[in-house]
A and B are shown apart, each in its own frame.
Chain A
Amino acid sequence: MTIEVRNLVKKFGSFAALDGVDLKVDNGELLALLGPSGSGKTTLLRIIAGLDWPDSGEVSFNGEDALAQGARERHVGFVFQHYALFRHMTVFENVAFGLRVQPRAVRKDEATIRARVKELLDLVQLDWLADRYPSQLSGGQRQRIALARALAIEPRILLLDEPFGALDAKVRKELRRWLRSLHHEINVTSIFVTHDQEEALEVANRVVVMDKGRIEQIGSPDDVYETPATAFVHGFIGESIELPVQVDGGVIRLGDRPLQLTAEGLVPGASKLFVRRHDMLVGPPGTGAFEGAVQHVRNFGPVQRAEVALSGGETIEIDAPRDKELRAGDTIGLNPRRYRIFAA
């Protein structure tokens, strides 16, 4: 199933949750909608599911107008952030729900329903919980049951709203890996919403970065990390050093200080320079584009993180390898291995 969204606009009062969104999702894709809260990603997901309606724009599934159908007819599996399991039903009945409410003409007989539910519970590896109630399950188990319930109706599309948002870090990591392999197995076109960049980059085939109701960039996890299209994406994905610079006459200045960086192809004016923390290479003073004094150094797993006061007055944090000798009080030169400049 392909999904196409054209020029979608949705306003809540004067707040534009979606401000002209265009998106194409390929068949069998696992797509992440990534953005800060309030970026419109959940609204987009809910509109695709039919739980919300846009003010204008189009949504089509396989070229068919989806907005002409209600949520009930769209045949979309939706997994809610807080699971939304039916609290008065057992796990088994939760998963069976979608099969039991089918119109009588197409409803399967009891034996078939039971077999199908069993199959789904096996798929999410929780068949031993069939007789429990949702309140007796852990967060991770509830999330898997919610997924099994959504899959029971053999959805054409699977939508997941912050599927791991309410889980603790360890369970989240496990479920992430599990979701990716599950998607590989069932191969349903899937979209999941997250504000966690690591989650998006690790799980999805493609990542859609959203901010303020607009799409900032669509690309593979590598694309959005390596070649961010906008200042927002660079700042949002990965840890970045952000410096206000001035571009004029082929020279980039930080404050008064001209930087030894090429200004080729840049629009003159106020701009923002972005460098990844680990792309800032440390050298002796006098070498490199920047110079600064190390304020203090902490070890951070495989790297050491140093706070450096640049001679221009800004303070930045850089990541350097552990074997590099850095001490508070050192004056060092800094050279960005890679950097990007966006007009501010």
Chain B
Amino acid sequence: MTMQIADTVSLSASDAKAREKARAHAAAARDNLRTEPRAVRIAIITLAIMFLTVFVVLPLVVVFAQAFSRGILAYLAALAEPEAMAAIKLTLIVAAISVGLNLVFGLVAAWAIAKFEFKGKTFLITLIDLPFSVSPVISGLVFVLLFGAQGYFGSWLRDHDIQILFAVPGIALATTFVTFPFVARALIPLMQEQGTQEEEAAISLGASGLQTFFRVTLPNIKWGVLYGVLLCNARAMGEFGAVSVVSGHIRGETNTMPLLVEILYNEYQFVAAFAIASLLAMLALITLIAKTVLERHLDEGEDASDH
């Protein structure tokens, strides 16, 4: 932002001087912050590292240690179990559906909020956050209330022989609901900051709505979209609460990976449970790395727009 202001307002000599002064001030302030005794610094850093080790690294290590406790063959055999394969397949399907839906909904919602002025906009923004503020279990229960045998649409669905609860549609719906905010939240600030001028320029140059979207809007937000999709996917695959309520836990049919981990663990099948868990942990690691890369791209994009 500062760069932008500096660029748009004229860059007279006095401005430049004032900025240099401010910069020197900032540098001095930074050095002042580093004046704590060495011992204090080391103590704080050690504390942070210890905390992270105990609460983050250690559990992760334990997951993999448990998964491989009977050797790699037992690990692979556990993953090759039909039940495990079914859970992996279901998780992938549900994630694909909910990420796909949320990509479209998130884009539309972000577009509407960032590029148009209308009444109830603030309300809509608040509404988008609802899935984050509600306990996932309640999100699941809502769908039971709507589509369950005693629910509002229950009898109609039964009459027409449509199975939503305790089947893929219900799980996908609950997951979609819980993960809705990710894409929209990633895009709204980005699109708001970019404004509508480039789109206006494209249209005045003769581009159609679709051309404007694919040639101007989408390239400008692509890193944001990927960022939203990544987080959305991680949550969709790992969602437990909402899915647990609507799944019905039918073995080999409606158990996603997180649900299967719990079941196997309760049945003392530790290797199998941790083998599945290790896949989820791997997903988390990959997500983290991808997130770091994407954030760098997003920052670069912002820098580019600031100059």
* Interface set of A (CB-CB < 8 Å, partner B): 49-51, 70-72, 74-78, 80, 82, 84-88, 97-98, 101-102, 133-136, 139, 149-150, 152-153, 166-169
Contacts and interface: CB of A to CB of B under 8 A. Distances in A.
Given A49-B204, A75-B206, A166-B7, 4 more contacts: A149-B205, A150-B204, A152-B205, A166-B8
B197 A80 contact: yes
A75 B204 CA distance: 7
B206 A78 contact: no
Given A101-B211, A101-B215, A153 B205 contact: yes
A84 B206 contact: no
Contacts of B305: 87, 135
Interface of B: 7-8, 10-12, 197-198, 200-208, 211, 215-216, 219-220, 301, 303-307
* Chain B binding surface SS class: helix
B10 A135 contact: no
A135 B304 contact: yes
Nearest to A77: B204
Given A84-B197, A84-B200, A135-B305, A97 B205 contact: yes
Contact of A153 (B206, B303, B307): B206
A32 B123 CA distance: 42
A101 B204 CA distance: 11
Given A101-B211, A135-B307, A86 B216 contact: yes
Contacts of A98: 205-206
A154 B231 CA distance: 45
Q: Which of B204, B211, B215 has the most CB of A within 10 A?
A: B204
A72 B10 CA distance: 33
Closest 4 CB pairs between A and B?
A168-B10, A84-B197, A98-B205, A135-B304
A88 B220 contact: yes
B157 to A, nearest CB: 45
A97 B10 contact: no
Nearest to B200: A51
B300 to A, nearest CB: 10
Contacts of A133: 304
A134 B12 CA distance: 22
A158 B203 CA distance: 15
A86 B11 contact: no
Contacts of B8: 82, 139, 166
A149 B207 CA distance: 13
Contacts of A102: 206
